[in-house]
Chains A and B, each alone.
Chain A
Amino acid sequence: MSNCLSGNEAVAYAIKQINPDVMGAFPITPSTEIPEHFAQYVADGEVDTEYVTVESEHSSMSVCVAAEAAGARSVCATSSCGLALMYELLYIAASCRLPITLACVNRALSGPININNDHSDSMGARDSGWIQIYAENNQEAYDNFIMAVPVGETPSVRLPVMTCMDGFITSHAVENIELLETDAVRKFVGEYNPENYLLKKENPLAVGPYDISPYYMEHKVMEAEAMKAAKARILEVAAEFAKISGRHYGLFEEYRMEDAQLALVLIGSSAGTAKAAVDKLRENGVKAGLIKVRVFRPFPGEELARALANTKAVAVMDKSEGFSANGGPLFAETRSALYDLKDRPYLIDIVYGLGGRDLKTEDVEEVFGRLAYITVTGETGPVYTHLGQRQRRR
């Protein structure tokens, strides 16, 4: 079924097809349309989800935590400050091993307040124990949300999943998209039948203990093991999804990487712009390539190292600052992943696109220009820089 939908509509439609048991709903730009569209599905009787219009995102995630613990498949959507307000509960959801699915429509964090896209919101939650899957476009946003459900609910995983798409760029732009039949989606996600849950009659359950030192560490190690197990499961689910959709997904996408000497690593919708730049450079004989990271948690470190092993210079493009004074989060992960390579490429970090600052193909070409210069001179220059800001007048 081919349709014209915005990213938000596509995700709302995926949720409708899944028909979850419980949804927590609270508005924040740019994710607001997801609960709005869903409210209409509820009003039209197209779903029988318990739709809980809470008074904050903190309560939205609290509702999802309790509902999921009670045995209900639960979902919600948010952005920016809303995700930040959920922060405490994100850790609780993951540590209670509750496979909630959250659509994060990426938006810059306050302050100053700004409603446009960057990745500071979900990057701030990267260590909360949630699986994170990022979309480049509407199609991927739709597909990722559907795949997230069986990934999170797998018994060996049982972790919450955050599917991310870029605010406005993806959430509001209308594109052609292939939708699956609802029956196929329902069959794909199946019934949610957890082994233990609060409402199970035969066996009452207690969730959320005070966990003392003799146990806490064991529980955290189990959580870490689950995150490791998620990697293989994400690929399995992607393979199953390919069978019903014809669309193939990995942990990341390699674009013209076969013989690439210069490469970018980035996340999200900027990949579209970067691919256009790569094509142009290729026409001019530059061996340029691109890696678009799709799964950030669990981080595909070994796989990424392998994919970059034969490059000469790599620019990691971070769409969130991080304020480590040592580069953004994607850079930290990528550099760490490359450490074990015998011959490491030169590596730089470029922080770009904060608060909706546009990334143009010329910008990407400029970055490749820098990489080319580095390979010729052997001089990396400043490793961590920003791109696209106006120069300060002195």
Chain B
Amino acid sequence: MSAVYDLKREVEKPERLTGGHRLCAGCGAGIIVSGVLRALEKEDRAVIVNATSCLEVSTFMYPYTAYTDSFIHSAFENSAATCSGAEAAYNALKRRGKVEGTVKFITFSGDGGTYDIGLQSLSGAMERGHDMVYVCYDNEAYMNTGIQRSSSTPRFARTTTSAVGPVGKGKKQNKKDLTEILVAHNIPYAAQTAPIGNFRDLHTKSYKAIYTEGPCFLNVLSPCPRGWDYPMAKLPEIIKLAVDTCVWPLYEVEEGVWRLSYMPKKKLPVEEFFRSQGRFKHMFLKGNEWMIEEAQQYVDQKWERLLERTDA
């Protein structure tokens, strides 16, 4: 890639995630995977790793794989270790002259497989410094098993294990800030992004992550029409709202330097994001105004902190 993002050039590359996979129509995950893989140079090969997730069961159901590159899935909580094992093999075989050309190692895992059950494996792989990219496609719940809460689910969201009723108010806790945890690993590159607009942000960050030596991390917001309860055609709007309300700020941390990637022209109130999805419906009931207020306060605090860190 040159420094300039050329959408036309990029979309002309052959798809590395082919059509015919079984993700729901409108799923963010497939778009993210093709978007990230498009950043690979044509001549470079890749080994793709998935954690058990919606993505994995939809893209490699025996005997068909949707990936044109080599692929491995092993379990739910070990995708980072799996990727590091493949990378270790590459180093060993390269040293012994048994493998040709450049091979890149890219993991895609859901928020459950990353924020929760796979966090140890991820932390270990990042600390060891494997030359790999770990992409979390964050749809904010365990979707594959039927929309259960994860530590990535935002406060108040309704899931099947953070139910809403006369007593239950949706999820009780705030979302874990995983990107910051990864930044604290002092890896060469960590970024938060989303498949927004013409994909420039996703693409440039993917390129940096893939072609920066060492362990790199991308956290990508991945709307899920089923779990978030919105009409599937609304994907671009939902992402735009997440970014413009600062619920999901876009930023990157390169060699310890924080940089804001996108400053909303007008920061929107968080309720506009919440209103777009059924999972937050109860926040708009009479008597629940405090939920929106508290959610707004939380987002504002995080945003202020990010602005300080990025000097924006």
Contacts and interface: CB of A to CB of B under 8 A. Distances in A.
Contact of B72 (A56, A64, A69, A215): A69
B82 interface: yes
B123 interface: yes
B120 A62 contact: no
Given A59-B121, A69-B72, A209-B61, 5 more contacts: A65-B85, A201-B101, A204-B45, A204-B69, A212-B62
Given A66-B74, A66-B83, A206-B71, A71 B65 contact: no
B86 A70 contact: yes
Interface in B87-114: 88-93, 95-96, 98-101, 103
B75 A50 contact: no
Interface in B42-61: 45, 47, 49, 56-57, 60-61
Contact of A215 (B63, B65, B91, B128): B63
A71 B88 contact: no
B71 to A, nearest CB: 4
Interface in A58-104: 58-59, 62-72, 74, 88-89, 92, 96
Given A89-B74, A199-B89, A201-B45, A21 B96 contact: yes
Chain B interface residue count: which class? 35 or more
Interface of A: 21-22, 24, 48-50, 52-56, 58-59, 62-72, 74, 88-89, 92, 96, 198-201, 204-212, 215
Contact of A66 (B56, B72, B92): B72
A59 B78 contact: yes
A71 B89 contact: yes
Contact of A62 (B63, B78, B91): B78
Contacts of A65: 74, 82, 85
B136 to A, nearest CB: 18
Contacts of A92: 74-75
A54 B124 contact: yes
B68 interface: yes
Contact of A52 (B47, B98, B120, B128): B128
A72 to B, nearest CB: 4
Contacts of A215: 62-63
B81 interface: yes
A385 B224 CA distance: 58
B57 A210 contact: yes
A201 B92 CA distance: 16
Contacts of A21: 89, 92-93, 96
B259 interface: no
Interface string B116-141: 00001101110110000000000000
A48 B92 CA distance: 8
Contacts of A55: 120-121, 123-124, 127
Nearest to A207: B72
A171 B271 CA distance: 64
